[in-house]
Structure 1
Amino acid sequence: MTLRLLPLLMLAAATSPADAVPADDAPQPAFFEALRAADLRLATIAYRLTTANAALCDQLQPQIGMPIHALTQYAPAARKAAATTFRFGATIGVEAVVAGAPADRAGVRANDSIVEIDGKAQPALPGTDAPENAGARDAAEAAIANAPVAQPLRMTLLRDGQRVPVAIKPVAGCRSRFEILLGSGLDASADGSVVQIGEKFFEGYSDAEIAVIVSHELSHNILRHRARLDAVKINRGMLAEFGRNGRLIRETEDQADLLGIYLLANAGYDPMSAPKFWREKGGDIDGGLFRSRTHGSSKARAEALVAAARDIAATPTRPIIPAVLATRNVPLR
């Protein structure tokens, strides 16, 4: 489970004016620490949702609670400041560690660098002229995601110049990546493998409120909505709101709302947080992230989820396997 940072010279424009930096200046440490804090919030929510709902997912991966990043993801002008703040000793670094997760229990620390994953060497520090790209990070993510769920994940870390071997005992969780998409406001999306959440959710929304959005988008991935919509050639462009396009997109959105509240409950969140969110905050995003003809109104969504919350309250066992889960292999019509 990892998160993506856009080039920092672009990100500066996405911050509030007080936090922004001139395009020709490197960001200050506080800027990087704010990014780390937001990424850790998302990683913690994602770890909780994916591991608690493993029984609902037919595609699993090791979840270790350790978002990683690569020095080469940062724009060249910001790279020196990023290397100093995050103490990169190699290309791949541990950005943060979720409290109580497997990486934390194994002794991994934020700002550790990763030099080996299951015996495979990871890149050393890049040259000053290395191009900006996320390839090294993506390869390291894939090595972690594709490791056996039931076996310890062995890494060699670099900490204060010393090599530190660790064996992380992962927890099985739903297969998905989670990213903060900066510069995108209150947008959120899921493409079948990645959940992206706009940075504005981290500027005034509680973790419980963010979890409502994350669980909705994770539900799209669990229910294979992107692939199922593609299979019946649904138009997501200018014609998305009309006719069969709008009807089937709305069907998938309603399903994601419904499954999402069960994901929340299984992960120990108050299921009433979902209808409460739509009553109190839905107006912030109606017409933006949730367009009127492909998504229900905030009021309609809240009312539907209250009914689901009552069903959840009457079911003491966890995890609950809701009936909507059976739709993931049913073609849309």
Structure 2
Amino acid sequence: MIRIFFPLLALLVAGPLCAQNAPDADYDPDTILALKGLQRLDQRMNAIGYRLVDANASYCDQKTARTGLLLNDVAQYADQGTARFALGFDGPIGITAVAPDSPAAAAKLSPGNSLLAINNMAIDDIVIDDSQSSSEQPAYRRVDTINRMLRQMLAEGDVELTISEGGISRTVPIKPVQTCPGQFQIRVSADRSATADGKMVSVSSRLAEYFLADDEFAAVVAHELAHNLLKHRDRLDAQQVNRGFFGQLGKSAGRIRDTEIEADRLSVWLMANAGYDPQAAIRFWTRYGKEHGKGIFSASTHYRWKKRVQLFEEEIAKMAAMEPVDGKYAPPLLTEAD
């Protein structure tokens, strides 16, 4: 299990810059270790997220073009020199993760490659769109703008990426695949939490460390992805559900709990279709529940872990009674919504 040194987290996010950009700089080994640990978590999250949305694409009513790339901006880090050294970037924007069996992997792109241009548009010439990225911290707005532009280009077809590897540049054609919608990120935090906001699935770095295997990791990511695929945020907004303190009471609590039940039920189908062991959801919540009570959340909006396990067992039994088609099980919560 990867260990991240949380006292160093302040070194890993944007802040006052340390002048360590020279090639002979004396880089701090603990900071390098922490950066590489975070990159490994990013890579696991990217791989799991891609696998889930790709494997379940035929059951999603909306699709998005995807390459399997995860980009990173050295401006996100307080010590940009150490970040470049640890992550292997030549330029300001680099590839931090490539999902296995993705178009990016087929194009032989690798973590550490620097992104120089998209369809011959130089990265340095891309104007940051502050109006579209206003919800992001300033240091994240450049990569947010680039990601948005890349998604728009991919929606129109193939793209060409110019990358640098070891100082040698090459242009690579990428043919995207259509998957379920979804974005995934590791949120650097000392708490254990996972969230879904309708588009993004976020897992805290400390929770990501807690997983014993990728199947457990996938259980939590699939649960949050299920919230987004079932458009739970839109439903709760339409019901005028209070997400604050009063959301733990009365009708609001019951409506939130209904969405949590649905997300638990759908999650094991998403896992099974992506080749993850759905029994891992039972193993994870049993272990976590025994150690921490109700689980990640302690509010009345979530079942206690034993009832969650019961839900998983019921859904796994339904799958066992079905005949898969091409190795996949049609998730009732997605197919019934069509």
Please give the TM-score of this superposition, normalised by the length of structure 1.
Answer: 0.84
Distance 1:283 1:185, change over 3 A: farther
Tell me whether 1:309 sits opposite 2:310 in the alignment: no
Per-residue CA deviations over 1:110-152 (Å, capped at 9, x if unaligned) read 1111111133321279xxxxx9511111012112323345833
State yes or no: 1:72 paired with 2:81. no
- Report the alpha carbon displacement of residue 281 of structure 1 after superposing the two structures with TM: 2.4
**Distance change in 2, residues 1:152/1:143 (3 Å):** same
Are the equivalent residues in 2 in contact too, given 1:224–1:328 (CA < 8 A)? no
> Does structure 1 conserve the Cα–Cα contact (< 8 Å) formed by 2:35 and 2:86?
yes
Other-structure match for 1:17: none
Residue 147 of structure 1 is matched in structure 2 by 153
Partner residue, 1:88: 89
Instruction: State the 1:72 CA deviation.
Output: 1.3
CA 284–164 in structure 1, closer or farther in 2 if over 3 Å, else same: farther
Mean CA deviation greater in 240-249 or 51-60 = 51-60
Indicate the RMSD between aligned Cα atoms, in angstroms: 2.6
Equivalent position of 2:334 in the other structure: 325
Deviations 1:39-89 (A, max 9, x none): 1111111111010011222232222222110111112xx111112222333
Indicate the residue corresponding to 1:163 in structure 2: 169
Residue number in structure 1 paired with 2:179: 173
Gaps of 5+ in 1: 1-5, 14-24, 126-130
> Aligned pair in 2 of structure 1 residues 320, 132: CA closer, same or farther (>3 Å)?
same
Aligned residue in 1 for 2:57: 54
Is 2:21 the counterpart of 1:10? no
Any conservation in 2 of the 1:115–1:124 contact (CA below 8 Å)? Answer: no
Check if 1:195 corresponds to 2:195.
no
Corresponding residue pairs, total = 305
Q: What CA deviation, in whole Å up to 9, does each residue of 1:73-108 have, x standing for no partner? A: 112xx1111122223332211012223322121021
Q: Which amino acid counterpart does residue 301 of structure 2 have in structure 1?
A: T
Q: Which amino acid aligns with 2:108?
A: G
User: What are the superposed Cα offsets for residues 211-233 of structure 1, whole Å, 9 maximum, x if unpaired?
Assistant: 10000000010011111111221
TM-score, length-normalised on structure 2? 0.83
1:242 is aligned, of 249, 263, 280, to 249
TM-aligned CA distance change 1:272 to 1:288, over 3 Å: closer
1:225 to 229, 232, 235: 232
**3-state secondary structure, aligned to 1:93:** strand
Shift of residue 11, structure 1, vs aligned partner: 5.8
Deviations 1:260-291 (A, max 9, x none): 11101111112222223222323345446323
Distance 2:38 2:147 in 1: 19
SS at match of 1:203: helix
Identity level (%): 33
Q: Residue type of the partner of 2:219? A: V
State the partner residue of 1:185. Answer: 191
Matches within 5 A, 1:122-133: 122-123=123-124, 133=139
Partner residue of 1:251? Answer: 258
Paired with 1:63 and 1:274, the residues of 2 have a C-alpha distance of 27
Match in the other structure for 1:42: 45
Partner residue, 1:280: 287
Distance 1:232 1:12, change over 3 A: same
For residues 243 and 270 of structure 1, the distance between their equivalents in structure 2, rounded to whole angstroms, comes to 36
SS at match of 1:134: helix
